[in-house]
């Protein structure tokens, strides 16, 4: 059936409303976006503000991050993302998650139930090692 990719948002953003795929400006996000787009498979952005975003969804810049909100707010965010995934026609048996632990923690139990296979290729890597991994990854 294929794969779907989930890529976390980042702090660096453009200053005007932009399609979500182009809003985030950090080297990490750009490299992750290029890698998942090269796969030709569907992908979504895990946004601290909006939950699950389609890459072409136009949004305004925001400052919210899961790193600065409470554990209960992160649980609520995870529930929201789960509902958004269920509301979309995602036909995949594998999900590949390119996101830090704060973005994964409240989603992993659900993802493991929803998809046959869950892959977190950069799990446990520091941001510097993630950038190196993204630089050297030819395909996903």
**Short-list 128, 32, 132, 35, CA closest to 46:** 32
Residues 6+ apart with CB under 8 A from 37: 21, 43
Lowest mean pLDDT segment, chosen from 3-12, 81-90, 119-128: 119-128
Residues 6+ apart with CB under 8 A from 43: 4, 5, 6, 7, 36, 37, 55
3-state secondary structure of 117: strand
pLDDT tens digit sequence for 27-55:
999 999 999 999 999 999 999 999 999 99
pTM to 2 decimals?
0.93
Q: Can you tell me the mean pLDDT for 50-68?
A: 93
pLDDT tens digit sequence for 75-89:
999 999 999 999 998
Does the structure show a pLDDT above 80 at 140? Answer: no
Residue 12 has what pLDDT? 87
For residue 97, give both structure tokens. Answer: 């998650």
Residue 90 has what pLDDT? 87
Lowest mean pLDDT segment, chosen from 33-42, 54-63, 92-101, 128-137: 128-137
CA gap 103, 114 in Å, rounded: 17
């Amino acid at each position: 059936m294929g794969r779907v990719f989930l890529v976390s948002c980042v702090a660096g953003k453009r200053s005007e409303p932009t399609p979500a795929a182009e809003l985030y400006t950090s080297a990490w996000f750009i490299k992750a976006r290029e890698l998942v787009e090269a796969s030709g498979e569907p992908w979504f952005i895990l946004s601290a503000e909006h939950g699950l975003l389609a890459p072409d969804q136009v949004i305004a810049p925001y400052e919210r991050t899961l790193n600065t909100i409470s554990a209960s707010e992160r649980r609520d965010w995870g529930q929201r993302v789960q509902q958004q995934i269920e509301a979309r026609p995602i036909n995949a048996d594998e999900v590949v998650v390119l996101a830090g632990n704060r973005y994964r923690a409240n989603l992993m139990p659900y993802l493991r139930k929803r998809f046959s296979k869950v892959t977190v290729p950069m799990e446990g890597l520091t941001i510097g090692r993630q950038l190196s991994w993204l630089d050297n990854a030819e395909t996903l």
